[in-house]
Homo-oligomer: A and B are copies of this chain.
Amino acid sequence: MAQTDTVTRILDTAEVLFAERGFAETSLRNITGKAKVNLAAVNYHFGSKKALIQAVFSRYLDPFSDRFHAAIDELERGYGSKVIPLEVLLETMARTVLEVPAERHSLKVFMRLLGLAYSQAQGHLRRYIQDQYGTVFTRFVALVRKATPELPDSERFWRLHFVLGTVIFTLSGLDALRDIAEKDYDEHVSVRDLARRMRPVVVAAMKAPLPEPPQASSQA
């Protein structure tokens, strides 16, 4: 009881503070102080601060990976050889992301880490995610491919990342955006509200007409 309690309390507090301030801005003393555990407990149970961040990350992504695989299994079982519509695929993804049994703060942390994984110049974090959880993403993309046969592969690649950018940016900067939105339109938005608003936008983005062919002006 004691061990689990300390470890869980550290993880719970860490993910909240990470989401609020970021990783570098959150000190271990900050976490252990709020979690009411000893400072050394972090290094004892996790080894280092970096490992703690990864643990927070895994606590979200592991259940997500499992659930999403299961959701796709069920989807494929239900649709048989028929093509799963894009809306269903996106909806399944969104539902799984929102479902994952964790605090609502962890979603923000997860999105921040995901954003870091891409923007960080050295792909150290990106490779970790790719190695650890790449199969889920690959499987999803293969289904999206069947659902959007009119898109060239490279076009679909870019559009999926356009959409990923929307999701990551909105959710990882949620606090800032929420502040503005509440002040200007005094409406409190939940993550679920955002998902509802994103749905038609994302679908429209994926189904947008193809761009005009590249200018062949100065190209051989």
Chain B residues contacting A74 (CB-CB under 8 Å) are none
Q: Place the interface of chain A in its size category.
A: 35 or more
Cα distance A162–B176 in the bound complex, in angstroms: 14
Q: Mark A192-213, 1 if CB is under 8 A from B, else 0.
A: 1110111111111101111110
Chain B residues contacting A177 (CB-CB under 8 Å) are 118, 158, 161
Chain B residues contacting A25 (CB-CB under 8 Å) are 24, 120-121
Cβ of B121 and Cβ of A115 under 8 Å apart? no
Cβ of B172 and Cβ of A158 under 8 Å apart? no
Q: Is the interface of A mostly helix, strand, loop or mixed?
A: helix
Binds B, one of A3-11, A76-84, A94-102, A180-188: A180-188
Cβ of B173 and Cβ of A119 under 8 Å apart? yes
Assess whether A85 is interfacial by the CB under 8 Å rule. Answer: no
Cβ of A176 and Cβ of B208 under 8 Å apart? no
List 20 additional contacts besides A22-B121, A165-B170; criterion CB under 8 Å: A20-B121, A22-B119, A24-B24, A25-B121, A115-B115, A115-B119, A118-B176, A123-B176, A154-B185, A157-B180, A157-B184, A158-B189, A159-B201, A161-B177, A162-B201, A196-B211, A196-B212, A197-B211, A204-B205, A204-B208
